[in-house]
Each structure stands twice: as C-alpha cells, then as structure tokens.
Structure 1
Amino acid sequence: MFLKSNSPRRMAVVAGAATLGVLLAACSASPNGSSKGETDGSTLVAYTGQAGDYQINFNPFSPSRIGGLGTIYEPLFFYNKAEVSEPVPLLGTEQVWNADGTELTVSLRDDVTWSDGEPFTAADVVFTFELLKSTPGINSSGFDGTVEAVDDTQVKFTFDAPVFVKGPDFMATPIVPEHIWKDVNPEQDVIEKPVGTGAYVLGDYKPQAFTYTANPDYWGGVPALENIRYVALSGNQAGADGIAAGTIDWQTGPIPDIQNTNKNFPSYDHFTQWQSQMVLASCSSAEQGCEGPQTDPAVRKAIYYAIDRTQLNNLAFEDTAGEVSPTFALTPSQDTFVSDEVQEKVAPMSADVDASSEILEEAGWVKGEDGIYAKDGERLSLTIEVVTGWTDYITALDVLASQAKAAGIELTAAQSSWNEWTDKRVNGNFELAIDSLWQGPVSDPYYVYNYFFASSSGAKVGEAAGNNYSRFSSPTVDSALEQLATLPLDDAAARQPLFDTIQTEIVDAMPYIPILTGGTTSIWNTADFSGWPSDDDLYAFPAVWSSFDAAEIFKRLEPQG
C-alpha cells in the first residue's frame, strides 16, 4: 500500500560530493591559494578520502587495496561512464564479437613491457581471467567463460551463452603478470611492490602518504605529470583547510561555499557529476547470518519513509544532492528503465511518519513507553557505521537519527577508520552502513543490479563478500540478471520485462535504503595543471577515488609551473 507517492521532481543545481573530503600539512602556500614547493607542478597532491594512515596493499583484487588500479594495473580497455563514448584501447587495441555474443576476440598491443622489464603477452591475459574464474571471491564481474591465446597478441573469449552486457566489465578487469602472480593468493596476499604496465610505478611509501612516479618505459609515452602523491588525512575540515592553504591539488569532496570556489580560491575550480546513489546499506539476510532488527524488511521500509530528504539535503549536503529512485535506476538519465509496476518512481522528499508507523505495526512492532518500537523484547535500535572524518555523512547521520526518532526508530552512528569500516562491511559485521552505490561502465541499470544485488557477489557473515555486502539473495533477481546478460543493450523490448521483475523485487526487499543521489564534486588546481575534464571534453568521470577514471585524467594533465 506504500511506495505510491508522487513527490515533485527536482534536480540539484550544484554539487557536493556525498562521500569524501581532505587536508595536507607541510607545504607552504601563497595567500591566494596557489601551491608552492611540493605541489609546484612536478608533483600533484591528491586526496581520496582516506581517514587515518594507509595500510600498504596494492593487490588490485583486494577490498582493502589503497591504490594501483589504472595507474599501475591496466585493463584491456577504459570505459567512460561519464558519457556515452567508445571504449578507449589500453592493453587491448580492438575487440570483435561474433553475431551471437558468445565469442569475443581481442587484439593486444605488441610493444608493452611490465614495469620489471618482462614482456607483456596474451599469456598474462589468459592467466588473469583464469585466476578470476578459479577464485570466486575476486570474481565480481562474474566471468564464467573460457579464454585462450590465439598468439602472443590475440586472445579469444568463449561463453556458453550470449554475454554482450558483461563485456564492458570483463574488459575493465586489471591485468596482472603471470610470472609474479602465479605464486600469489589473490584473496589474502598483501602486495607491497606492485608490477604493472601502467603509466606510473610506485615510488616511496609511508603510512601517511605514498607516491607514484612516471613509468619511463610506458607504452603510451612518459606522462607529462611526473609524480602523484596520495595523502592520508583526517577529514573534510582538514580538506577545506588544505584547499585554502594550497597544499592539495585534487580532492573530491565538499568544501564550504563550493559554488564560489574560484572566487574564494583563484587557483582552483570545481566540477560536478551526479552518479553516486547514497544509501543506508543493511546486513539484510538472516539466512546468511546477519543479526539485528534491520533483517526485517519492514524496518528498512519504515526508515525509508521516516527520512525527510529535503531537510537532510539542506543540513548535510548544502542542497547539492538530487532525487533517488527506489529502483536504483539513475534519475533522470535512466528514467526510461523504471518499471510501470513501481508506482513511486523516486523516493519521497518529505517524511511520512504515518506510513512508517503503519508498516512497523503491521509487522508486529509495538511502540514502547520511551517512544521507540519494540518486538519480542527487542528495541528498534540500530547502529550505522561511518568513516571518521566524513563530516558530511556524519552530519547526515545526526539528521537521520533525529528524523527516525520521530518515527519511533533509534539510530546511532559509530565512527571508525576506513579500514575498520571496510572490514565490517565486507565480512557482514554491521547492521547499517552509510555508503554509495556506483554505476557501471555504461549508462544502464543492469550494472548496479549485477554489482549489488546478485547473490554470487554476496557471502555468509564472516566470509568476505563482493559488492553485494548486504547479502541480498533472490533467485528471481538472479534469473533475470542471467537473462539480461544474454541480451544486447539496445534490445529494450526484451530487456524491460526483466527490469520490471528486478525492480519489483528490490523495491519490496529494500536491502539498500535509498537516501539521495549525491553530486560528485572535484576541486582541482587549475593554475598548476591543465587538461582537467570539462563539459566540453568529459573524457572521464571526474572523481579522484574512481581509480580507472583518475588514471586517465593523470595521463591528460599538463603541469603549468
């Protein structure tokens, strides 16, 4: 009887990232924010939102990796999710499908060496994909085909059924060197000395910062940007201070008065894209070992209706976020995919406490004398995990706690380091976590469903899950995803009934509670570096933490100092 309101459609006009912020000490700066010393053009200082010290790990398949994707470990092709475009050849130069979508032939570069001097060949590609297939814990793309080397510069992938839609994910797999990785446990081993084919190699490493240096033997030519220094900092306020001091060159996260970035800091500008869908992710499945009130779908839906998204957007995100669909089709660009069977196309922007209460009471929850619901002696009290220093999210949780209390639900925030937060999510040791769902390589909702709702990417509590850390499992959704994988992306008539099925299931279960669509905003140094993405040339998704995109941006930048 719910999910039927028709809230007014509204798009955000400016953007603040829904996740991350920054700081760096040590470099001097001029009063107007231009950078000096370490950030003088030879070294770009970047901050990804890392809260607390880095723990070294450049294993590209590990959820606790701190870097390396794109910069060190390259895929076969780069896919630009910021706009519709052809894939960019990297280690692969050409890809050709057969008419049935069951065979994909990829031609490889013949002038590539690994950073330790060994030659890159088709055997490395075959090894990487066989490694994925034999290790389910790292196979988030669901690769289930066979791969063979036709010769040193050509490989052929063969599948039992058409897999057109999975091609971009497979082609975006980081390739690793067989001569090193044949002795590596990809799920457990920590990689301290990464060897790749990318434009950069690892330079110095310390827990507070590490540096990439330009690869002198890069097949694409030595990049103009010589060094990239990633720093581990304390949070968003520190980031704002770093921008003001001119000691950070690129961060993706909020700063005060973000619309006037260039006016306040003439050496900087900001740029925004809307793609990350903010959620309260739940450990949803009691069958998989999740414990707590959040395993009841009624509780998740009650929280959904308790949220006043207009107030939340104003108080936590400077009115920079946009609407979100409970189907997780990205609005408005993917609105055509939203099922007619889902009557509430976007989440309500105001709270509906009556709806929240009715859902809980129909599920057997009873409000106690303290105003909080309870059932079978268990109070409706939940802990939400958040990373220390993510001040926008921490503010959001303060607001959500107040809103939920009005609906008889107690929410408490628990802050921890990024590493601890990640470990809790991956292993299922949480009740709720504030996070974002990301989009796939092309603008199509199949990817977010396959990443976050496929049971193959989940795991029992205590075991490492893939992207589906909510542990959601539905044979109906799995079947629809399997069928979608066999259909061309442009076959709307055949695909939409499958989207209808998936959306009906996930709206009903709601393992990820939709909050808002966050604007991803980068603040970057335009005085010392040129070549940043723009509306006229959106060649990559402009977020420093979007690794493959950031790697393409680094290769385009030209130091001006």
Structure 2
Amino acid sequence: MSPHHFPAHRRLVSSALVLLLAGGLAACADQQPAAAPGGDTLVVDTAFNAKSLDPARMFQPTDFYAESALYDTLLKFKGNDLKAPVPNLAESYEVSDDATAYTFRLREDAVFSDGSPVTAADVVFSYNRLKNVKASPAFLMDGLTVTAQDDHTVVIKAERAVPELPSLLTAPNFGVVNADQVKAQGATDAEGADKSDTAERYLNTASAGSGPYVLEGYSNTSQIALTANPKYWGTKPAWQRVVIRNVTAPQQQLLNVEGGESQIALDLSGRQAQGVDRSAFTVTSDQAPEVLYLAASRAKTSATADPEVLAAIRAGIDYQGLLQVAGPGTVQAAGLVPQTFVGALAPTEAPKYDPELAKELVARSGVTAPKITLDYASDYHRLAGLDYATIAQRIQSDLKKIGIEVTLNPAPTATSLQRYVDGQTELALWSYPPDFTDPANLVAFGPGGFLAKRVHWSEKDAPEAAKLTESALAAKGDARAAAYQAWQRVLNDGGPFLPLLVPTTVTLSSARVTDVARNPITGIDLGAVGKKQS
C-alpha cells in the first residue's frame, strides 16, 4: 500500500471548501425577496443550470456550486489548484500498488449540521445510495464497492485500476450525508433505491451535510439561499448568508456587480471583461474545463451518418473565424480532453480548416445536396458567457460555402437538451461539464458511452475506438497521458464528436470580497470567500 498521509499543517486546514429540467422544483426560495447588498450577505450571479440538491441525483453545474458548501467530501481541491486533492473529511489514505484498493482514515472532529459525528457508516450509506438511486451520476460508482472497517476507516475497492479515484472523490456527488437524518425522510441505500428512495423532496428543502453552510431555500429557476452552519467543524465562513441568483444575461451580471447589487458574477465573456475597471473590481480568468463541440448523429436518416459528409463538416469549419466570434481568451480545441487535464492533445493536432477538401468530400459523398438541422440552446450562457446563437450562425455560414445547407433549430435549454438526450438531433452544439478533473470522466464520448448513445454510436460501429477507450481506462501512471491521446486521435479521425473551442471563464468580484478562487468543477469555494473590513 502506498501511504498518502497529509502533512500535519494540511490536516489542520479547514474544509472551506444529463438531464436538465427547468421546472419548479422545491422550495421556499421562490417566496424570498432578492438579497439586499451589504451586510453579511454574499450575492453571486450566474445563469442557472439547476435541477436538484440531492447528492445522489444532482448533475447540473449550478447545483454543484451550492452542493460543495453544504456537503463535505473525503477529499477536495483547494481553490483552483488541481495538482492534487487535499484532506477534507479524510485526513489520510493509502492505496494498493495496483490502484484497486484505497483505505481512508476519517478525521474524528467532523460533525454534521445537527452536531452528530461523521462516521464511516455515513460514507458507506452515501456512496451506496449514489449507486443504487441510479440517477444520472450513478455511473461515478461503476465498479466500486465501499465498506466501513471501523467508525473512522473506509475501504473502497475497484474492479479495475482507478488511479483517478482521489480526483473522482472530490466530485460533489460524493458529498457525505447524515444517514440517520435522511433515512428518517425516506432515503435508502439498498438495491431498488431507484424506486423506493423518496428523500429528494426533503433534500431540496433542507440540507443534511457537514459543510460550512446549511440550506435556507432552493429554487432551480430563481435563487439558492444558504446560511452559515453554526456547528461547522472547520473555520467559520466570513459571510453569514450566501444567495446564488439566476441572472441569465451576462451583461446584467456585470451591471449588478458594478452597481453593488451583487458581489460576484460567474458568466462574463472575455470581451465583456475587457471594459471592466480593474482598479475598482477584480477580474480573474481561467481556461474552462470543458470543450464546446458538435455532436453528429449516426442515425441512418441523417446526412451526418455519411462518413464523407462528417469529414467535410470537420474540414469545412473556419476555426479561426469561430475564435473571433467567441472573443478574447478562447482557443481552438484539439480534442475532447481540455488542456487542464492529463492526456490533452497538443494544439498542433487540432482539426485544420480546408474548404477545398471539404467541397471534394461533399461531392463524393453518398448524399446529394446535404441538408442538416443544427440544434442549440438559445438561452444557454453558462459556458463563459458564450453566445451559442452567434456560433451556430457562423457554422451555418461556413458549411453553406462547402455545399451543406444547415437549418438552425434554437430552443430553450430544457427543450434542446431533451432532444439531444433522446437522440433526436442531427447536429447539436453542446459542451459537457465534467464531474471531476480527470480524462476518465470523458470516456462517455467513446462508442457505447452515454453521450455516444445520444448520437447512435455503438461499440460495434467503432471497435478500434472501443478498444482504445478500455485501454485508456486501464492505463496507470505516466502511460495514462499517451493512452488518452491515442483515444482522442481515433475519435478525431472519424468519431461523431467534433471539438470546436475551449473558452476562458471570467470571474468578476467587487472590492468587498477576497479569496475568490474558482474550481473548474465546483465553482467558487463559498466557504473560503473572505470579506474586507470597512
């Protein structure tokens, strides 16, 4: 076993840290007035992509922001430093030489918001519930079993080598719930929980975690309100209350921070950030952990199923033109693994714009005058403030020049995403927010993966790509980077996902706040945000 005992000073560091339905889920936040600026309330503006705060069910980026402040995980990343996870509920861990068994030692001073201790039994219950509820994030537990060795020791075993497990366990879905509290509200971790577990409604009205905040109110369409946890076991948060508000227009987010109505904005574009007064406000930029891509259907009724048409689309997009449309800080994606992850392709391997080749490919394809419908979410601005409509229009214009007629089909996010999930789109413009910072999270793009199923791409359709998917998952140590690069090259050579852009996320904050560190997965570490004394 390789020990991972964290240094003493780290052990004392406090924890401070796809299906979207835009419905009227829970709760009392709908009846609350918007938070007034000033005082002890931190207001964060973002375009909502939210559905549930139940750790076993939640799968949307906005929910991640709140979840990380409500529920502690065994390990976490400190701020935006993704080099290695640091202790949270676990003070140390050991891993077997073959990376199939991990033993975690829990700290003994951690308590839930009701004052009861966090035990290994709570971890086992939380993880088994994540598996057996069988909601969207259940795949995170694939091949894993978890047991309690004693009250403060957890053992996780895997069917294959999982060198990515420490990173995986930082995902908010691995937030540990108070088992006794949620069992009393209908939660179960047993097989069949997908039919018998009824705790989601409760968990959208009250939290059951050990984080620096507790849930005050939740609406997945307007705002999420949090209150400082008086029994938090770590360093108390600087802000007594946090309100995350749904502000869909990035320009309005900018105006709100400049006017003092909010303190943090998360969805500005690089172009909008250029005009900000840097002497009065803080602007930080980080490369996004996700790739904007086109998903091309392999259904026989779609022109994109023809390999020549698909290759023509790849060669017929003016990528430099897209960068100009997207704005400052955006770079071309070389593959589906973003540059911040192990296994990213070099920029020199990015697809090349070759309109003459694209025209030839269309001419020799089996489709006469190809006609394709391009779906995109008309109200989706969460990814670095990108305007999907402008990008879709540019793609439409590029493909018209090579002989492909594209009809745009904008729709609200819920509608557009549902069409994509149901496999009804021909060409769709999306990004995939990763659940944890490791390329293993992206194998869903491989043939037979849940993203590949949306475009009707199976292992039988691409046996070489399927084999490389398995090889990438099995790779360990330094071999992992090369394995994921080989996997992406095959996908780039004929797969149905066309990587386009990687934008830069911009965080704008007022002079009233300090320590605004943005994790690419969980967002702002709300428990660590400081307050300047006036």
After superposition, the C-alpha distances for 1:454-479 in whole angstroms (9 at most, x for unaligned) are 63544856xxxxxxx88664554444
Q: 2:329 aligns with which of 297, 320, 326?
A: 320
The corresponding residue for 2:280 is 267
The corresponding residue for 2:445 is 452
**Deviation (angstroms), 1:412:** 3.7
Distance 1:476 1:244, change over 3 A: same
For the 8 Å contact 2:376–2:392, the answer to whether it is kept is: no
Task: Tell me how far apart the structure 1 counterparts of residues 137 and 226 of structure 2 sit (CA, whole Å).
Answer: 25
Task: Tell me how far apart the structure 2 counterparts of residues 511 and 519 of structure 1 sit (CA, whole Å).
Answer: 25
1:557 aligns with 2:530: yes
The corresponding residue for 1:488 is 476
SS in 1 for 2:217: strand
Q: 2:514 aligns with which of 517, 530, 538?
A: 530
After superposition, the C-alpha distances for 1:410-431 in whole angstroms (9 at most, x for unaligned) are 3344343333344344343433
Task: Tell me how far apart the structure 1 counterparts of residues 114 and 394 of structure 2 sit (CA, whole Å).
Answer: 51
- Aligned letter for 2:336? F
SS in 2 for 1:419: helix
Task: Tell me how far apart the structure 2 counterparts of residues 448 and 480 of structure 1 sit (CA, whole Å).
Answer: 15
* Greater Cα shift, 95-104 or 137-146: 137-146
For the 8 Å contact 2:113–2:230, the answer to whether it is kept is: no
For the 8 Å contact 1:275–1:439, the answer to whether it is kept is: no
**Deviation (angstroms), 1:282:** 1.7
The corresponding residue for 2:158 is 159
The corresponding residue for 1:11 is none
The corresponding residue for 1:466 is none
Task: Tell me how far apart the structure 2 counterparts of residues 112 and 335 of structure 1 sit (CA, whole Å).
Answer: 32
TM-score (norm 1): 0.74
The corresponding residue for 2:251 is 237
The corresponding residue for 2:429 is 434
For the 8 Å contact 1:304–1:513, the answer to whether it is kept is: yes
- Aligned letter for 1:426? V
Task: Tell me how far apart the structure 2 counterparts of residues 261 and 95 of structure 1 sit (CA, whole Å).
Answer: 44
SS in 1 for 2:312: helix
**Deviation (angstroms), 1:151:** 0.6
Task: Tell me how far apart the structure 2 counterparts of residues 298 and 135 of structure 1 sit (CA, whole Å).
Answer: 42
Distance 1:204 1:87, change over 3 A: same
User: Looking at both structures, which has the greater relative contact order when contacts are Cα pairs under 8 Å and sequence separation is at least 6?
Assistant: 1
After superposition, the C-alpha distances for 1:152-197 in whole angstroms (9 at most, x for unaligned) are 1111112343222344214532333433231864999554223222
Distance 1:487 1:514, change over 3 A: closer
Distance 1:37 1:58, change over 3 A: closer
The corresponding residue for 1:12 is none
For the 8 Å contact 1:274–1:519, the answer to whether it is kept is: yes
Task: Tell me how far apart the structure 1 counterparts of residues 178 and 378 of structure 2 sit (CA, whole Å).
Answer: 34
1:357 aligns with 2:359: yes
- Aligned letter for 1:284? S
**Deviation (angstroms), 1:103:** 1.4
For the 8 Å contact 2:343–2:485, the answer to whether it is kept is: no
**Deviation (angstroms), 1:149:** 0.5
Q: 1:192 aligns with which of 197, 204, 208?
A: 204
For the 8 Å contact 2:75–2:88, the answer to whether it is kept is: yes
SS in 2 for 1:238: helix
Task: Tell me how far apart the structure 1 counterparts of residues 400 and 52 of structure 2 sit (CA, whole Å).
Answer: 41
**Deviation (angstroms), 1:308:** 1.6
Task: Tell me how far apart the structure 2 counterparts of residues 285 and 62 of structure 1 sit (CA, whole Å).
Answer: 29
The corresponding residue for 2:375 is 384
After superposition, the C-alpha distances for 1:176-225 in whole angstroms (9 at most, x for unaligned) are 34332318649995542232221111113454222111111112132112
SS in 2 for 1:212: strand
SS in 2 for 1:301: helix
- Aligned letter for 2:216? G
SS in 2 for 1:311: helix
**What is the number of residues matched between the two proteins?**
476
**Deviation (angstroms), 1:510:** 3.1
After superposition, the C-alpha distances for 1:256-284 in whole angstroms (9 at most, x for unaligned) are 55234225xx4322111113444333263
1:243-258 map, 5 Å: 243-254=257-268, 256-258=271-273
The corresponding residue for 1:282 is 295
After superposition, the C-alpha distances for 1:297-354 in whole angstroms (9 at most, x for unaligned) are 443332222222222222x2224311220x33444x6798649xxx961233xx4222
For the 8 Å contact 1:292–1:431, the answer to whether it is kept is: yes
Task: Tell me how far apart the structure 2 counterparts of residues 59 and 427 of structure 1 sit (CA, whole Å).
Answer: 24
For the 8 Å contact 1:281–1:470, the answer to whether it is kept is: no
Structure 2 stretches of 5 or more lacking a match? 1-33
SS in 2 for 1:363: coil
SS in 2 for 1:251: strand
The corresponding residue for 2:18 is none
* Greater Cα shift, 447-456 or 397-406: 447-456
Task: Tell me how far apart the structure 1 counterparts of residues 306 and 402 of structure 2 sit (CA, whole Å).
Answer: 16
**Deviation (angstroms), 1:108:** 1.2
- Aligned letter for 1:152? D
TM-score (norm 2): 0.78
SS in 2 for 1:225: coil
Task: Tell me how far apart the structure 2 counterparts of residues 44 and 209 of structure 1 sit (CA, whole Å).
Answer: 13
- Aligned letter for 2:317? I
After superposition, the C-alpha distances for 1:431-463 in whole angstroms (9 at most, x for unaligned) are 333232456755x6x3354243363544856xx
For the 8 Å contact 2:43–2:242, the answer to whether it is kept is: yes
Task: Tell me how far apart the structure 2 counterparts of residues 80 and 361 of structure 1 sit (CA, whole Å).
Answer: 53
Q: 2:418 aligns with which of 415, 420, 423?
A: 423
The corresponding residue for 1:514 is 499
Distance 1:198 1:500, change over 3 A: closer
The corresponding residue for 2:188 is 182
After superposition, the C-alpha distances for 1:372-422 in whole angstroms (9 at most, x for unaligned) are x23xxxxx1212221416362222222222222222223344343333344
For the 8 Å contact 2:46–2:248, the answer to whether it is kept is: no
For the 8 Å contact 1:58–1:192, the answer to whether it is kept is: yes
1:122 aligns with 2:120: yes
Distance 1:209 1:131, change over 3 A: closer
Task: Tell me how far apart the structure 2 counterparts of residues 81 and 432 of structure 1 sit (CA, whole Å).
Answer: 36
For the 8 Å contact 1:284–1:470, the answer to whether it is kept is: yes
SS in 1 for 2:349: coil
**Deviation (angstroms), 1:91:** 1.7
For the 8 Å contact 1:78–1:88, the answer to whether it is kept is: yes
For the 8 Å contact 2:374–2:429, the answer to whether it is kept is: no
Distance 1:154 1:275, change over 3 A: same
